[in-house]
Amino acid sequence: MYTTARSLVAHGKGILAADESEGTIKKRFDAVGVPSTEENRRAYREALFSTPGVEEHISGVILFDETIRQRSHDGVRFPELLASRGIIPGIKVDRGAKPLALSDTETVTEGLDGLRGRFEEYRGLGARFGKWRATYSVGDGRPSDYCVRANAQALARYAALCQEAGLVPIVEPEVLMDGSHTMEESARATARVLQALYDELYAQRVDLRATLLKPNMVLSGYSASERAGVTEVTEATLDVLYRHVPAAVPGIVFLSGGQSDEDATVHLNAMNAGGPHPWQLSFSYGRALQSAALRAWGGRQENLASAQRAFFHRARMNGAARTGVYSPAMEHEALVA
């Protein structure tokens, strides 16, 4: 597990989050006018997974239950296709955020029932790491201590079962950026969430050396009257991480959280440019890696090469941000080339 954890945050590489549920992928397909059929979902993900050269920048892929069972057009299971390229297959195992009992506005992530058996099956299908996401809103007294504790316990129970199965757990506590809260409010919420998470991981005997953290960056709410700039985001995010994430954790793989493609890259680059840090700072992006490729593909086989070029470009940009050498000029240079 130690080797897998370190490999997922290898130099210049990060993770593709291709674990959208059927509901989420339908929304994204609807936005580009593509019916969300099983075949279209399979063909789209095969386009991403078979992109020439993308293994130079992508270390692992988080799959969904449907996707880990699918095959390429020539019959190769997706986990095998990825592994043959040196990309580590992983699996999302939570079953989504559900209303928290006795709370009108907060959620807790479910999916622990039967998880030991599902891990056994997923390992047999080729998964080498797992992922579990919890979400927290900010404002009007949120996140409550109740919500923070409930999700920390669930994340830690998942992580312990994941390691028991020989898989690396990615723990994803996401403080949502929906709302008008300030960056300072986001920082306080993120700090509370991370402190509770690591208290619980320790209590449940999880080996932090074989885990990865997938957190939000500390951003202003998307409806805030004033948005924090790159320097402010970088300083606030690193401050929270240094205070609350143990150095034993080998890597932090940020979620993009609805940022634009380039904003997610710029923020990651700024944090790495200020390194080195106790942990590798990498990415585990979904939309920020895929959105341009999805628009280019549009459900048409003749657009396959264009979609793969768009995906490779974003992977390469974020690979550069992993080491702090990205610059916006690289975006223009790639377009001209």
Q: For 136-164, what is each residue's pLDDT tens digit?
A: 999 989 999 999 999 999 999 999 999 99
Alpha helices by DSSP H, listed for 224-303, are: 230-244, 261-273, 287-297
Give the global pTM.
0.96
Per-residue pLDDT of 268-301, as tens digits, reads 999 999 989 999 999 999 999 999 999 999 999 9
Q: Determine the structural domain holding residue 285 and report its residue range.
A: 2-336
Q: Please, which pLDDT band fits residue 203 given cuts at 50, 70 and 90?
A: very high
The DSSP letter of residue 50 is T
Decide if 15 contacts 8 (C-beta within 8 A): yes
Q: Is the pLDDT of residue 119 over 60?
A: yes
| Structural domain count, the chain | 1
Q: How far apart are the C-alpha atoms of 319 and 13, rounded to whole Å?
A: 5
pLDDT > 90: percent of the chain: 93
β-strands 97-99, 107-109: how paired? antiparallel
Q: Please, which pLDDT band fits residue 198 given cuts at 50, 70 and 90?
A: very high
Q: Is the pLDDT of residue 337 over 60?
A: no
If you average pLDDT over every residue of the chain, what do you get?
Answer: 96
Q: Is 114 left (phi over 0), alpha (psi -120 to 50) or beta?
A: left
Q: Please, which pLDDT band fits residue 226 given cuts at 50, 70 and 90?
A: confident
Catalytic residues: 172, 214
Q: Average of pLDDT values for 15-39?
A: 95
Q: When comparing pLDDT for 21 and 121, which is higher?
A: 121
Q: Is the pLDDT of residue 220 over 90?
A: yes
Q: Please, which pLDDT band fits residue 67 given cuts at 50, 70 and 90?
A: very high
Q: Average of pLDDT values for 308-330?
A: 96
- The residue among 3, 106, 59, 26 whose CA lies nearest residue 319 is 59
CATH code for the domain of 152: 3.20.20.70
- pLDDT of the residue at 336: 47
Alpha helices by DSSP H, listed for 126-226, are: 145-164, 183-203
